[in-house]
Structure 1
Amino acid sequence: MTGPAPHVLTEHDIYLFREGTHTGLHHKLGCHLEGDGSGGGHFAVWAPSAQSVSVVGDWNDWQPDATPMAPRWDGSGIWEVRDAAVARGEAYKFHIVAKDGSIHQKADPYAAFCERPPATASRAWTLEYHWSDAAWVADRAARNAPDAPMSIYEVHLGSWRREREGGLPGYHEIAEPLAKYCVGLGFTHVELMPVTEHPFYGSWGYQTTGYFAPTARYGTPQDLMHFVDVMHRHGLGVILDWVPSHFPTDAHGLARFDGTHLFEHEDPRQGFHPEWSSAIFNYGRHEVRAFLLSSAHAWLERYHLDGLRVDAVASMLYLDYARKSGEWIPNPHGGKENLEAITFLRMLNESVARDHRGTCVIAEESTAWPGVTRDGDTGGLGFAMKWNMGWMHDTLRFFGNDPVHRRFHHDALTFPLWYAFNERFVMPLSHDEVVHGKGSLITRMPGDKWQKLANLRLLLGWMWASPGKKLLFMGGEIGQEREWSHERELDWGLLQDPGHAGLSQWVADLNRLMREEPSLHARDFDPQGFAWIDCCDVENSIASMVRTAPDSKPVVVVCNFTPVVRHDYRIGVPLGGPWIERLNGDAGIYGGSDVGNLGRVEAAEEPRHGRSHSIALTLPPLAALFLTPA
């Protein structure tokens, strides 16, 4: 005997759907074609307050009475129909008549593929693909482990590089060049800004309408699968920006889906986001929670992604986020915490850890909410990692000062290290820091062109030296001078300039050293792996640290945040004997002035900074030195 078709809803499915714990609704709701996609298919949609629902599409001339749907007998609010005429690639929508008689033509919330914007219909599609990454998937738990090196290259696919004149690249064509580029620079992961379908290109994907569909701007779902497959073939993990915090109110989308506030809260104090003019999910509605859980699981399952970066978590956690007094509704205990969102986030992280071993879920959470990366059963939210927004803001603020004034702002540099182990942190220099009039990273650095490049090398050296995983937005590695725009590719011509080419080489060498030396990655989340040598040399604007890991060489890092060369600068070190200058940010190959220590120094039995030995260094201007014992 054969069982029901995979897309047929069972009583157990309905139970999990109503409970809000279903993580596989993408197998049940939406459009599921039979066979090779030419023999018709099954449609199912949740619209509990609709008066009637039908499927309209290319095959029935968009006639509302051609393919009427029937509500299920179980009161779940799900409507179903089988249509023998629909074929792969055809566009469709749900024609919904609300109880008040209003008509809503909606894209399928569970569609696997959509028309290319500005068109707004869903497409009937199949998702067959022959993967070649079984070895990668089997091994990725080690690559995403807390003690693994992680250096993430954040990418907006439409503006990294444009091979076609004036046109967007495709998932398929960009895969190989991007993979080779990232491997050449030593990155371990690629993070894609949202490629979930979105109507407004200028939202960069953060105003999502297709929670199960990759944007058709860059190709088909299979093209995205190929992209991920190629990344894995080159040894790169893929992380996707995912946005469960809000959604746009476009007429074809989720807002007022069946004529009622189905996915969003009805009260604008809960259901409307004042900063982004978008709708906020009702996390307390079980079916909505199951929708979002299924979206997360679908991306990990269908596209073999290695992780999700959850956008704007703070806006989910706080009921008063971006609101003034009287513009928000307290929780039942009178507090500002969104208890329903907390429940959802814990369920998300628990279910992903259970079903997708080796993947990671990363929070972009901009406040001091406690326990973001602590397990849910001990009171935390259960994320694998969290973006360290405090580090980013304080560090860029410090570097924005002219070096002559930096001694007055030394605490901005060192303060983030005092809480560096409160969470499992990713240190981000993301797209948000190079838009909306902020300029690029290099234009935020003080001084002339030489000093700007030196400061940027120093910023990245400080970042790679510090505990935490690394994330750099595209263009930062070449010293992109123009502020990032989604409408054009990066200014690759800058690499003809030795200073910009040297910066790129510096990033490659930082990544190489980080991967070679466990002390620079194995204890990123362990305070035992970090110690200051001297964080108090405020007058000279110098800071030094040592990174350690079991059975590994210690790595000493000294950073001079002024353009003044410091001679015979003595610091304590954990071992005697010779020390090798592994990296020098002022080396000529990076565009520096070649001030240094001729590659090595000898540790003297002269105590300093609480250590039995010390080394006397020549500190180059605006540069980081990385040293290890010979």
Structure 2
Amino acid sequence: MNSMEFLSSEEIYLYNRGELYKSYTKFGAHILEEDSKLGTHFVVWVPNAAAVHVVGDFNDWCAAQNTMAEVGTTGVWTLFIPEIVRGLYKFEIHTKTGDVLLKSDPFAFCSELRPLTASRIYSLEGYQWLDQDWILRRETSQPKEKPLAIYEVHLGSWRRKVDGSFYHWLDFAEELLNYVVSMGYTHIELLPVMEHPYDGSWGYQVTGYYSCSSRYGTPHDFMYFVDCCHQAGIGIILDWVPGHFCKDAHGLGKFNGSSVYEKDEHAQWGTYNFNFSKTEVWSFLISNAVFWFEKFHIDGLRVDGVSSMLYLDFEKPDKAWEHNSYGGRENLQAIAFMQRLNEVVFQHYPGVLMIAEESTAWPLVSYPPYVNGLGYNYKWNMGWMNDTLRYMQLDFSRRKDYHHLLNFSLTYAFSENFVLPLSHDEVVHGKRSLLEKIPGDYWQKFAGLRNLAGYLMGHPGKKLMFMGGEFAQFIEWRHDAGLDWLLLDYDLHKKYQEYVRRINKLYQQEKAFWENDHDWSGFEWIDADNNGQSILVFCRRAKNLHDCLVVVINFQPVSYENFRIGVPQRGIYQEILNSDNERFGGSNHLNPAPLVAEKVKWHGRIFSLRIKLPPLATVIFKPQYKYKLRRGGSNVCKQRKF
């Protein structure tokens, strides 16, 4: 079999143009087991090389035995070995300056466990998926109209075995999955699982974009994990890093002795930035996104560091960058790349999530490219996160002067489709855990943390919480140790976990929280400006606007026996959540009986309620559309509908 029977000239042309969107089916190492095509095929892109060889276990790492041939001047090198070979391999690249480099395969499906660096010949075929019902529902649904409560996980530090070693995918398929289901989350977001050499990078400095990290098992083991999650009704989102990659010698950097994949260095991160002016980089990265959806059935990508791709001067000193062709600072090639990326992904997988971590005011991030948007369907709301956490750390006496930090986010809440992130970045590098950010005594810290979680749940936008936040981890996150699960032996931590479980499940039950989440018709301020008492009152609505919730949040350690709030309609209101419930660690200052809205004007509304409002508490009321109202002491009841 010659190489062109496996990889056509048209496919090479498309790869060079940036339009071969399933490059992984041809590039890398592929075992062919048909009788007429028995053997192993290798393909790699190395422009301007003097020679390229395949070396590995099968030839005793001897370059002379397996020399690759370049196809024309395309930079694409191929080799067909007419036998099935197994084991480890690399590409030996001879540069035109006389250097010899040993490089891992950019398209390898499996790699050695660090500190070893070779690629491993591996076939992804053979797994029998059982998640067809999940995939069908996903592809025919509208993500914006569904609940999205994400549990963000760093696999290496969620739990460790007694001897300190990593859990296996099979362990995660049981313990992590069961935990997430019990806690009421809808999705798991995994910090990067692509192969990376340094644990301290948390996976964000990648060497093997197509390799599922060998830390936790094989690629088939990861398939099993995803499959189990889908069968249990849990989606999987992967962190993905298309902006930059690490400098390790076996990786993509200086692939032919000079810049191939990279444009320049990211000094702060110690990495190389991808060069988006090279269309082969488009083929490589867009194919990689498609790869994780196709081969591993994942449900979304959270795209890391979008801001670093958008701006030519991102975290660079003056005169260390060049303006674009229009004299601006925008990276036009990166913008075009992201637009094409999202067009391709949604063309193949219309029901998935493409979530941008974008920290600036760049417009139209979650709008389609045909209106000049970037094409994502979600963006992390970093403004909400920064303002809210800044407010929550203020001493109670100062909060009245910073009330705008709570309500400002609603001035732009519907300008994008947002995810509200309480992520790993906020509980590391001296920022302290969420619990430690909260002021006050021990009880007030937990009450304040319940308020933070309540505000997260009530505010428009999908939800994300980093692991450990759900049971009030005390110390900062450490990537090299498991979470402090022993804290669940302590009453307030156990009760706080129960509170998070309750609000997650309430969130899924109540359409008003998520069905109409991206439009003003789904949100209504009742009282946005009570800075004197540090209280917010607002209404959330489903598409059926009568299906609504009234949310009251008291950010001060002061309680009120008769606090009046305006409500959107007459009727009977039932308290469906009170963070001050003793089962959650509160003082049990509750509204257990149904409350009848009185015709007393308040907050600009005709009807209002008198409620008990606990200190540092989130209280949610729901109108009861059908109820029995006892009149004048009579035992005769009459049905009322509202």
User: Take 1:101 and 1:4, find their aligned partners in 2: how far apart are those partners?
Assistant: 29
Letter in 1 for 2:374: L
Task: Name whichever of 12-21 and 325-334 sits farther off.
Answer: 12-21
Q: In structure 1, what is the equivalent of residue 118 of structure 2?
A: 121
**3-state SS of 2:63 partner:** coil
User: Take 2:346 and 2:439, find their aligned partners in 1: how far apart are those partners?
Assistant: 44
Q: In structure 1, what is the equivalent of residue 491 of structure 2?
A: 498
User: Take 1:5 and 1:602, find their aligned partners in 2: how far apart are those partners?
Assistant: 78
**Residues 70 and 629 of structure 1: is their aligned pair in 2 closer, same or farther, counting only changes over 3 Å?**
same
Q: In structure 2, what is the equivalent of residue 54 of structure 1?
A: 53
1:628 pairs with one of 622, 627, 633:
622
Shift of 1:85: 5.0
1:156 pairs with one of 151, 154, 157:
154
Q: Is the 8 A contact 1:582 1:599 kept in 2?
A: no
User: Take 2:271 and 2:206, find their aligned partners in 1: how far apart are those partners?
Assistant: 10
Letter in 2 for 1:50: A
Gaps of 5+ in 1: 266-270
Shift of 1:135: 0.7
Letter in 2 for 1:123: R
- TM-score normalised by the chain length of structure 2: 0.95
Q: In structure 1, what is the equivalent of residue 572 of structure 2?
A: 578
Q: In structure 2, what is the equivalent of residue 268 of structure 1?
A: none
Letter in 2 for 1:161: R
User: Take 2:487 and 2:430, find their aligned partners in 1: how far apart are those partners?
Assistant: 21
Q: Is the 8 A contact 2:240 2:303 kept in 1?
A: yes
Q: In structure 1, what is the equivalent of residue 371 of structure 2?
A: 378
Q: In structure 2, what is the equivalent of residue 401 of structure 1?
A: 394
Q: In structure 1, what is the equivalent of residue 558 of structure 2?
A: 564
RMSD: 1.7
Note the alpha carbon deviations across 1:593-628, whole angstroms, 9 max, x for none. Answer: 001222432210111122210001111010100110
Note the alpha carbon deviations across 1:448-499, whole angstroms, 9 max, x for none. Answer: 1111111100000011001000000000000000111111111111111121
Shift of 1:91: 0.7
Shift of 1:12: 2.3
Q: Is 1:112 the equivalent of 2:105?
A: no
Letter in 1 for 2:25: H
Note the alpha carbon deviations across 1:291-344, whole angstroms, 9 max, x for none. Answer: 011111111111000000000000000000001211111101110000000000
What is the aligned-residue identity percentage?
Answer: 46
**Residues 17 and 540 of structure 1: is their aligned pair in 2 closer, same or farther, counting only changes over 3 Å?**
same
1:216 pairs with one of 201, 214, 227:
214
1:392 pairs with one of 385, 395, 401:
385
User: Take 1:527 and 1:620, find their aligned partners in 2: how far apart are those partners?
Assistant: 29
Q: In structure 1, what is the equivalent of residue 633 of structure 2?
A: none
Q: Is the 8 A contact 1:144 1:360 kept in 2?
A: no
Q: Is the 8 A contact 1:144 1:359 kept in 2?
A: no
Q: Is 1:255 the equivalent of 2:249?
A: no
Letter in 2 for 1:345: M
Q: Is the 8 A contact 1:142 1:148 kept in 2?
A: no
Q: Is the 8 A contact 1:198 1:215 kept in 2?
A: yes
**3-state SS of 1:146 partner:** helix
2:594 pairs with one of 594, 600, 603:
600
User: Take 1:25 and 1:165, find their aligned partners in 2: how far apart are those partners?
Assistant: 40
1:264 pairs with one of 246, 262, 266:
262
Task: Name whichever of 309-318 and 161-170 sits farther off.
Answer: 161-170
Q: Is 1:98 the equivalent of 2:95?
A: yes
Q: In structure 1, what is the equivalent of residue 138 of structure 2?
A: 140
Letter in 2 for 1:79: W
**3-state SS of 1:218 partner:** coil
Note the alpha carbon deviations across 1:369-407, whole angstroms, 9 max, x for none. Answer: 000011101011010100000100000000001112111
Task: Name whichever of 300-309 and 158-167 sits farther off.
Answer: 158-167
**Residues 546 and 516 of structure 1: is their aligned pair in 2 closer, same or farther, counting only changes over 3 Å?**
same
Aligned residues: 621
Q: Within 5 A, what are the aligned runs for 1:220-619? A: 220-265=218-263, 271-551=264-544, 553-619=547-613
Shift of 1:180: 1.0
Note the alpha carbon deviations across 1:204-232, whole angstroms, 9 max, x for none. Answer: 10000111111101111001101101110
Letter in 1 for 2:557: P
User: Take 2:112 and 2:195, find their aligned partners in 1: how far apart are those partners?
Assistant: 9
Letter in 1 for 2:95: A
User: Take 1:31 and 1:463, find their aligned partners in 2: how far apart are those partners?
Assistant: 46
User: Take 1:107 and 1:163, find their aligned partners in 2: how far apart are those partners?
Assistant: 30
User: Take 2:5 and 2:354, find their aligned partners in 1: how far apart are those partners?
Assistant: 28
User: Take 1:7 and 1:31, find their aligned partners in 2: how far apart are those partners?
Assistant: 15
**3-state SS of 1:512 partner:** helix
Note the alpha carbon deviations across 1:102-134, whole angstroms, 9 max, x for none. Answer: 111000000000001110000000112111101
**3-state SS of 1:229 partner:** helix
Note the alpha carbon deviations across 1:177-208, whole angstroms, 9 max, x for none. Answer: 11111111110000000000001011010000
Shift of 1:441: 0.6
Q: Is the 8 A contact 1:161 1:489 kept in 2?
A: yes
Letter in 1 for 2:273: I
User: Take 1:557 and 1:459, find their aligned partners in 2: how far apart are those partners?
Assistant: 13
Q: Is the 8 A contact 2:435 2:445 kept in 1?
A: yes
**3-state SS of 2:403 partner:** helix
**3-state SS of 1:117 partner:** coil
Task: Name whichever of 309-318 and 563-572 sits farther off.
Answer: 563-572
Q: In structure 1, what is the equivalent of residue 29 of structure 2?
A: 31
Q: Is the 8 A contact 2:537 2:553 kept in 1?
A: yes
User: Take 1:286 and 1:255, find their aligned partners in 2: how far apart are those partners?
Assistant: 17
Letter in 2 for 1:103: V
Shift of 1:544: 0.5
Shift of 1:6: 11
**3-state SS of 1:168 partner:** coil
Letter in 2 for 1:473: F
**3-state SS of 2:220 partner:** helix
Letter in 2 for 1:386: K
User: Take 1:589 and 1:4, find their aligned partners in 2: how far apart are those partners?
Assistant: 70
User: Take 1:373 and 1:4, find their aligned partners in 2: how far apart are those partners?
Assistant: 45
Q: Is the 8 A contact 2:143 2:352 kept in 1?
A: no
Note the alpha carbon deviations across 1:52-111, whole angstroms, 9 max, x for none. Answer: 0000101111111121111113x21111111245533x1100000001111110000000
**3-state SS of 2:565 partner:** strand
**Residues 145 and 7 of structure 1: is their aligned pair in 2 closer, same or farther, counting only changes over 3 Å?**
farther
Q: In structure 1, what is the equivalent of residue 637 of structure 2?
A: none
Letter in 2 for 1:241: D
User: Take 1:300 and 1:360, find their aligned partners in 2: how far apart are those partners?
Assistant: 11
User: Take 2:33 and 2:11, find their aligned partners in 1: how far apart are those partners?
Assistant: 23
**3-state SS of 2:290 partner:** helix
User: Take 2:425 and 2:5, find their aligned partners in 1: how far apart are those partners?
Assistant: 40
Q: In structure 2, what is the equivalent of residue 44 of structure 1?
A: 43
Letter in 2 for 1:114: S
User: Take 1:134 and 1:201, find their aligned partners in 2: how far apart are those partners?
Assistant: 34
Gaps of 5+ in 2: 625-642
User: Take 1:283 and 1:298, find their aligned partners in 2: how far apart are those partners?
Assistant: 19
1:186 pairs with one of 177, 184, 187:
184
Q: Is the 8 A contact 2:2 2:80 kept in 1?
A: no
Q: In structure 1, what is the equivalent of residue 170 of structure 2?
A: 172
**3-state SS of 1:287 partner:** helix
Q: In structure 1, what is the equivalent of residue 632 of structure 2?
A: none
User: Take 2:515 and 2:10, find their aligned partners in 1: how far apart are those partners?
Assistant: 43
Q: Within 5 A, what are the aligned runs for 1:5-20? A: 8-20=6-18
User: Take 2:415 and 2:605, find their aligned partners in 1: how far apart are those partners?
Assistant: 27
